[in-house]
Amino acid sequence: MHSFIEAVWHWIDHNLVKVIIGTVAITIIIVVLWPLSVIFISPGHLGVRWSRFFGGTVINEIYQEGTHVIFPWDEMTIYDARLQVVERSYDVLTADGLSSSVNFAFRFRVDEKNLGILQKYVGPDYQNVLLVPEVGAQARHIFALYPPADAFTTKRTEVEKRIRDAVDHNLFVNFNPANMNHVRYIVLEDILIRDVKFPLSVAQAIERKSTEANRAQEYDFTLQAERKEAERKEIEAEGIRRFQDIVKDGLTDNYLRWRGIDATLSLAQSPNSKVVIIGSGPNGLPIILGNDDRTAPAGPGSKPASPAALPSGAATQALGSPRLKSPPSVSLPPLQQQPPQAP
């Protein structure tokens, strides 16, 4: 082994220039050919190889994710095999001629079995070549069969399903290569309506209609609440009437007089100044004179004077006294008329 290593170094020593040139050449070849020969397919992707000298597109062989080595003069086209989402807006007309812009989102994935045929006859831009135009055509056709009130509200799911079925059928039947039938390039999962934009005048009219509908519904709830309130008051009045029928036999004069005295005592204990005259009111109930600053008019039939008009000695009396003394009467001499003076 030692002698072999010495022989190698001896050969390199005598052929150093050739060794350097060979090393540089090999390095250049590796640097240039490595990206062309070694292909990395990331997760969720598939590859289709195109052979420059052996028949072109390889239809029957699909390269899975991982590392693959091919001839540097061949090419590898990589497709995203995962579920994809594309959003597009289309101008459509409904059955009554209403123009609107509808935004769709359609979810799909490529069919792995026919990926080689897709590469050969359609290419990597299959979304814009096959899917997007077909969705727009079928959407315009289906929306023309429905009025706006159905297409965008109650039958929205039905419209989405009909568009999806029509697109899937046409892609499966009408886009077959020569000498082939029923080739499925794309597995279409669903088509969803994301947004609808109406003309400004139509949008304002729809908003006003919705506002009036909500207001009418509010009135219905208000009327229902008023009816419930009327029923409540009717039940309350019936309860009061029954209560009066029950207690009217027990409302004697003595009971009412006792309740009046009890209420008078409660009022007399308040901090407001007042005059309480016991036994001078109707049915023997007390009379309470509050501190009203207005002076009652004099003369027959006039109301009792306010406490401010009473003499100071009779303003207040102790509530517990046996009897409040009435203020002393004051006799005033009659006014004498002066004779008129001569002019």
Choose the CATH number for 84-198 among 3.40.50.880, 2.130.10.10, 3.60.40.10, 3.30.479.30: 3.30.479.30
Assess whether pLDDT exceeds 50 at residue 18: yes
Query: Cβ–Cβ contacts within 10 Å for residue 138, how many?
Result: 21
Residue at 197: amino acid letter? K
pLDDT digits (tens, 9 = 90+) for 144-174: 998 887 888 888 899 999 999 999 999 999 8
| The pLDDT value given to residue 187 | 93
Assess whether pLDDT exceeds 50 at residue 71: yes
Quick one: pLDDT band at residue 203, thresholds 50, 70, 90? low
Alpha-carbon gap, residue 225 to 263, rounded angstroms: 38
Alpha-carbon gap, residue 120 to 122, rounded angstroms: 6
Domain ranges, ordered by start, for the chain? 2-80, 84-198, 208-248, 252-289
| The pLDDT value given to residue 315 | 36
Alpha-carbon gap, residue 163 to 186, rounded angstroms: 15
Both structure tokens of 15:
């052929």
Alpha-carbon gap, residue 339 to 311, rounded angstroms: 34
pLDDT digits (tens, 9 = 90+) for 245-290: 887 776 677 777 777 777 777 777 777 766 666 555 555 556 655 5
pLDDT digits (tens, 9 = 90+) for 290-301: 544 444 444 444
Alpha-carbon gap, residue 100 to 90, rounded angstroms: 8
Both structure tokens of 29:
């070849």
Task: Kindly state the DSSP code that residue 133 receives in the 8-state scheme.
Answer: H
Mean pLDDT in the chain? 77
